[in-house]
Amino acid sequence: MIAITLLVGILFWIGVDVWAGTSSRWYTAVKIDPTIESNNFSVLVPIYGNVAYLQNVEFLRPYGNRIVLCTTSGETAEFYQALEEIAVDCGFKIFRSSYVPRTMGRKKSTRGLTRDTIVRDALNNVQLNAYTICLDADTTADESLGSIVGALIVNNADFASVQIVTQKDGPAIVQLQRHEYILSMRARRIMPWLLSGAFHLGRTDVMRLIMQNHSLFFQGNDVETGILGDAMGFKSVHIMANVNTNVPDTLYAWWRQRIAWSAGSFRLFIVNFRFIFRHPFLWAYSGIIVIFMFALRWFAILTPGWTLLLALVFYYIAMIWLHWDEGSKWLLFQPFYSLFVSLFVVPVGIVYYFIMAIPERNFGLIRLRRSRKVTPQSLSSYKLPPQIGDRPGAGANAGSSGTHTGEHAAHQEHAFEHTR
C-alpha cells in the first residue's frame, strides 16, 4: 500500500512537471521592445551588513539619483562612510530606515525581517517615481531598466516577474542550478506573480500597498509579494528580460542557501496552506508532494524495489521529452539532484524555519489586513502614507546623494516623464 501511495505521488509530481512544461509553451510572455522606454522609475537596492555585498555599482551608475540604497540604522560608522562615498561618486541616494536588526553579523543575513522592513520603509518614506524596481545588490540586467519598465507600462500591468539567468561557467553545482532556474522560469509564464527577490518591479502605489500587508518574513518573501499582489486583484505579467544573478558555486554556500529556501517553502506551502484554494496545483505539488511526502521517498530508498525504478524511468522520460531542447548533459543528472534535495534539504529546511521564526516571533503568516479585496479600480480610494517630499518646507532638490531616514528627511525627487 505504501509503495502504491508513493508511486501515485511520484506520478503526480511528474504530471505537474509535464503540465507546467507543456502549458508554458502556450503562454506568451511579454517581450522587450528596445524602442519603448520609460524613465519614470526608481530602484530600491537593499544593502546592509557589509558594503562589499554591493557588487552592481557600475551597472547602476548610469541611473544616478533614481537609485536608492536602502539600509538600516544598525550598521557601523565604517559602513555608512563607505556607502556615502559610493553614493556621492555615482549620484545615488541613501535611505536609512529606523529599523535596527536584532543581530548583525559580518556575513549576509539569511534570516530575520531586515530586507523587507527597509524596503517597506523606503516605499513609505521616500518620494519615488511612478514605478519601482526592487533589485538585489549583485543583480544586473542585459536590457536597460527603462525598457523593462516600458514593457510593464505598455501591457497595462501592475507588477511583473522577469527572466532570471545564472552564470554559464562553473562547476557541476552551478550547472545543475542553471538548469533548475530554466525550469523555474518556464513556470513564470503560467504564474507570472511568482516573483524573484533578485529583481521584480511594479507600480509604486501597488508595491506600497502590497508591502503594507507583507509579513516581512525573509525566506519566501518574494513569492509572498506576488501572492499578495495576486490576491489583491492586481495584474501581473512575466517580462522576458534577461536578469543576471550569481548562484552559489560551492557545496557549502549552496547548502546554506537551499536550507533557507526550503524553510521558506515550508512557510509558504504548509504554514499558509489555505492558499491551496487559490492555486491548487502549485500548493498540492509544493506542499503535499515535495514536503509532506519526503518520508515516503526515504522509505523507497531504504526499501528499494520496482517503485523507485519505475519512478526513475518515468521521470527520465518526462525530463528528456520536455527539456532536451536545452541540450545540456546536466539534464541527465537532474533527477538525482532533485532526489537529494527532497531527501535531505527539505527536512532540514523544516527545522530551520522554526529556528528563524521563533527568535523574531514572526511565523510568516500571510494575511490581507483589509476587509475587502483591493483592486486597481479601488486603489485611488486608499489614503497612502505621506511622502517625505510632500511636507511643507521639504527641499525640492537636496542633491544627488541625499540621505533619508525613516523619521526625517528633506529630499524630494523630480518625477520623470515616461515615453511610450
From the list 324, 361, 376, the residue with the least C-alpha distance to 209 is: 376
Cα 224 to Cα 203, 217, 250, 368: the distances in Å are 17, 9, 28, 11
> Does residue 303 lie within any of the structural domains?
yes
> Does residue 130 lie within any of the structural domains?
yes
- The predicted pLDDT at position 392 comes to 29
Cα 72 to Cα 46, 98, 116, 133, 166: the distances in Å are 9, 6, 11, 19, 29
> Does residue 98 lie within any of the structural domains?
yes
- The predicted pLDDT at position 277 comes to 84
> Does residue 18 lie within any of the structural domains?
yes
> Does residue 141 lie within any of the structural domains?
yes
- How many CB atoms sit inside 10 A of residue 163's CB? 23
- The predicted pLDDT at position 72 comes to 95
pLDDT tens digits, one per residue of 71-111: 999 999 999 999 999 999 999 999 999 999 876 444 444 45
Half-sphere exposure of 73 (CA within 13 A, CB side): 12
> Does residue 291 lie within any of the structural domains?
yes
Cell numbers found for residue 42: 526608481
- The predicted pLDDT at position 186 comes to 82
Cell numbers found for residue 46: 537593499
- How many CB atoms sit inside 10 A of residue 230's CB? 20
CATH number at residue 22: 3.90.550.10
How far is it, in rounded angstroms, from Cα 42 to Cα 416? Answer: 10
> Does residue 202 lie within any of the structural domains?
yes
Cell numbers found for residue 244: 543576471
Q: How many domains does the chain divide into?
A: 1
Residue-level pLDDT, tens digit, the chain, 420 residues: 555 555 555 555 566 666 655 665 666 789 999 999 999 999 999 999 999 999 999 999 999 999 999 999 999 999 999 999 999 999 999 999 999 987 644 444 445 799 999 999 999 999 999 999 999 999 999 999 999 999 999 999 999 999 999 998 899 999 999 888 887 888 888 899 999 999 999 999 999 999 999 999 999 999 999 999 999 999 999 999 999 998 999 999 999 999 999 999 999 999 999 888 888 878 877 887 778 777 777 877 777 666 667 767 777 676 666 666 655 677 778 778 888 898 899 999 999 999 999 988 999 999 987 544 555 454 544 444 443 333 323 333 333 344 444 333 333 333 333 333
Domain hosting 240: range is 2-369
- The predicted pLDDT at position 328 comes to 67
Residues 46 and 118 sit within 8 Å (Cβ to Cβ): yes
How far is it, in rounded angstroms, from Cα 258 to Cα 303? Answer: 27
> Does residue 50 lie within any of the structural domains?
yes
